[in-house]
Amino acid sequence: MTTTQRAVLIRAYGSPAEVAEIARPVAGQGQVLVRVRAAGVNGIDWKVRDGLVQQAFPLQLPAVLGIELAGVVEAVGPGASRFRAGDRVMGPLGGLGAYAEFVAVDEVNLVRTPQGLDDVHAAAIPVASVAAWQSLHHAGPIGTGQRILIHGAAGGLGGYAVQYAKRAGAEVFATASAAHLDHVRSLGADHVIDYRAQRFESVARDIDLVLDYVGGEVLERSWQVLKKEGAIVGTSSPDILARTPPGRRGLWFMNKPDTALLERLAAEIAQGTLVSKLGEAVGFADIPAAIERNRTDSRIGKVVADFSR
C-alpha cells in the first residue's frame, strides 16, 4: 500500500495553494481514516492562504487547506466506535486538512451521509448549513416579524440563512447580484436588492439583525440601516469589534461543529425540504484555482471539489 497521497497545501502565507505529495495519515485515538470523495471550497481557504486570519488560525506550515468533506471510512482508530469501515460519512474537520485523499478525522465531527445524497452534494453542506443557522441565532433569538438583512444571500451561507430566517417568521431583506435575484427570491426573501444597481440603504430600514457574509465597505454602510438596539453579525470581517461604533452591537462569528444539527439539516436536504445549491464542481487539480475564484467571483451556491474528476 502506498504511503503517500495528493494534497492541496500552502508552504507560506501569501504563497499560492499547490498540489503536492504528502504522507498518508493513520487514524489516532477517537479518529477514523476517511477516503475523501469530495470537499467543499470555502472563503476561509483564501483567507488562511493569504494570512488574513493567522491570529485566529495559527498554523504549522506547510499546511493542507480545506475544512469539510464527504467520503468513506477506510479504517477505524483506537477508541472510535461510531463508524465502521465502509460507512459513508460527511462533516467538518473542526480545523484544516480536507484537501487530501485520506484524512484522519475525530469521529465526533462526522455524521452518516443520508441515503439519496451523493458525496459531491454532501460535501457542500457541513460548514455552510450549520454556520448559517448558528450565525442567524448568534445575537439572540429570532422572532416573528423581525426585520433581517442578509448580505451575500446567493452564496453558500446566505442561501441557507434566507431559508432559516423566513421559516422563523422574519421579514427578509437580501442583497445579491442581478443574475441571482430570482434564485434568492425563490428561497423566500421578501425584498431582494441588486447591490450593483441599488443601494441597500434605500430599501432596508429599521433592521433588527444584519448578517454580513460580505465584509468590506458593506459593513460600514450597514450601521445606518440598523435599529438602535439591533446587531450586525459578521463572518467576513475579523476586525468587526474594532469597527463597531460606540453604543452599537457588532459580533464576530466563528462556527462550531454541531453534529446533531448537521444530521437534521442534511436529512432535510436529502428529503428536499431544505434547498442546498451546488454552484460548481471542480476536479482535484483545480482546487487552487477554485480557491482564488472564490475570492474574486460572485456565484450562486457552493463550490465543491469532486475527487473523482
Q: Can you spell out the DSSP letters for 67-114?
A: -EEEEEEEEE-TT--S--TT-EEEEE-SSS--SBSEEEEEGGG-EEPP
Span 140-151, average pLDDT? 94
pLDDT at 55: 76
User: Can you read off the three cell numbers belonging to residue 128?
Assistant: 455552510
Q: How confident is the model at residue 215 (pLDDT cuts 50, 70, 90)?
A: confident
pLDDT in tens, 169-183: 999 999 999 999 999
pLDDT at 305: 97
CB 123, CB 304: distance < 8 Å: yes
CB 66, CB 125: distance < 8 Å: no
Which three-class secondary structure state does DSSP give residue 51?
A: coil
Which domains are delineated in the chain? 4-127+257-306 (3.90.180.10), 139-252 (3.40.50.720)
pLDDT at 231: 96
pLDDT in tens, 185-212: 999 999 999 999 999 999 999 999 999 9
Which three-class secondary structure state does DSSP give residue 192?
A: strand
Handedness of CA 216, 220, 221, 222 (dihedral sign): positive
Element (H, E) at 251: strand 249-252
Q: Can you spell out the DSSP letters for 9-50?
A: EESSTTSPPEEEEEEPP---TTEEEEEEEEEEE-HHHHHHHT
Span 247-264, average pLDDT? 91
